[in-house]
Amino acid sequence: MSRAAGDLLGAHVSTQGGVSRAPERGVAIGATAIQVFTKTPNQWREPVVGDSDVAAFRAALAASGIRAVVSHDSYLINLASPDEALRERSVAAFNGELARCRALGIPWVVSHPGNYIDDRAAGLERNARGYAGCLAQVPGEVGVLIEGTAGAGTALGSSFEELAALRHALPAALRARVAFCLDTAHLHAAGYDVAAGLEGVWERFDRVVGLSLLKCLHLNDSKSAAGSRVDRHQWIGEGTIGPEAFRGIMRDPRLAPVIKIIETPKGDDAVFHDRRMLRRLRAYQRAARRNGRRTRTVGRA
């Protein structure tokens, strides 16, 4: 099925069997964009991505029609940690992620800010220093999308102000390689009024950070209450956020160039549920287009 030129919608897909398997899994669910792990996210072991792996992935991607790919970094990485050994290990792992993505031609690595543990300001400085060092170590076009968090515990990045501060703390020469990813479930858990005040959320983000720096959206409903700081994803339109916010996102022309990735529950059949969610989101968008055509017709009459 052909997709509109601005359609950049998909899901996090498995790389089991090798990263080159990811594009075909995206095709199977009707995606035009995918998110992947380039390594097992809950292990420190660094995989070797050889020339044959790179060639296979690039060929599979070119043949698939997938228009956009982002990677997500390891869950173990904590660049904000006061523990020097953990921070050094995290730096090495993040360097590895950037290098793999550069080789594979993946332009963005989505990265959760770390947990500061001791002092928030010190943690933010360590996190920014870690990003800066890794970007300098792995030059090229691959960049970082700092993801807003739900704000549990000592996690950094649950406020727009803190996200802006992280980027601002980087050397000016590196900031062009750093932008942002927002997650609807995280925003909801962090206390932003996604369910009933979405336009206000975008206005505040634009004022504090800049909407042009929003390159990726994770579209997830939530099982948790607004402001709970608890990150539990639910199927689109079936959680505490509800369908209207997602209708708004899919119909907003400002967000057309933003990569949109679902991380909703896979259930016992990932292909079925991911296809179901993507169809639902596209139906929200198509309804707006039909309504818009009808409105213009009536106006001309």
Is 1 contained in some domain?
no
> Residue 297 pLDDT more than 80?
no
- Counting every residue written for the chain, the total comes to 301
Task: Give the pLDDT score at 114.
Answer: 98
> Residue 207 pLDDT more than 70?
yes
Task: Give the pLDDT score at 300.
Answer: 25
Task: Report the CATH number at residue 296.
Answer: 3.20.20.150
> Residue 232 pLDDT more than 70?
yes
- pLDDT band with cut points at 50, 70 and 90 for residue 197: very high
Structure tokens at 263: 């991380």
Question: Structurally, how many domains does the chain consist of?
Answer: 1
Is 92 contained in some domain?
yes
Is 195 contained in some domain?
yes
Task: Give the pLDDT score at 291.
Answer: 62
Euclidean distance between CA atoms 130 and 107, whole angstroms: 19
Q: Which residues contact 28 (CB under 8 A, 6 or more apart)?
A: 271, 275
**Tokens 């400002």 sit at which residue?**
254
Is 258 contained in some domain?
yes
- The candidate with the shortest Cα–Cα distance to 23, out of 104, 115, 121, is 104
Helical H runs in the chain? Answer: 22-28, 51-64, 84-104, 120-137, 160-168, 184-190, 198-208, 243-251, 270-300
Is 145 contained in some domain?
yes
* DSSP calls for 9-49: EEEE---TT-GGGHHHHHHHTT-SEEEE-SS-TT--PPPP-
Task: Give the pLDDT score at 134.
Answer: 98
Is 217 contained in some domain?
yes
Is 80 contained in some domain?
yes
Task: Give the pLDDT score at 4.
Answer: 66
The three-point CA angle 29-217-164 to 5° equals 160
Give tens-digit pLDDT for 139-173.
Answer: 999 999 999 999 999 999 999 999 999 999 999 99
Task: Give the pLDDT score at 287.
Answer: 79
The stretch 112-125 carries a mean pLDDT of 98
- The candidate with the shortest Cα–Cα distance to 224, out of 185, 265, 263, 261, is 185
Mean pLDDT of the chain: 94
Structure tokens at 257: 């160039």
Is 295 contained in some domain?
yes
The stretch 218-226 carries a mean pLDDT of 98
Rg (CA), the chain: 19
Domain ranges, residue 128: 9-300
Task: Give the pLDDT score at 125.
Answer: 98
- The candidate with the shortest Cα–Cα distance to 13, out of 295, 275, 214, is 275
The stretch 274-285 carries a mean pLDDT of 97
Give the Å distances, CA to CA, from 138 to 27, 46, 103, 174, 215.
31, 16, 11, 11, 21
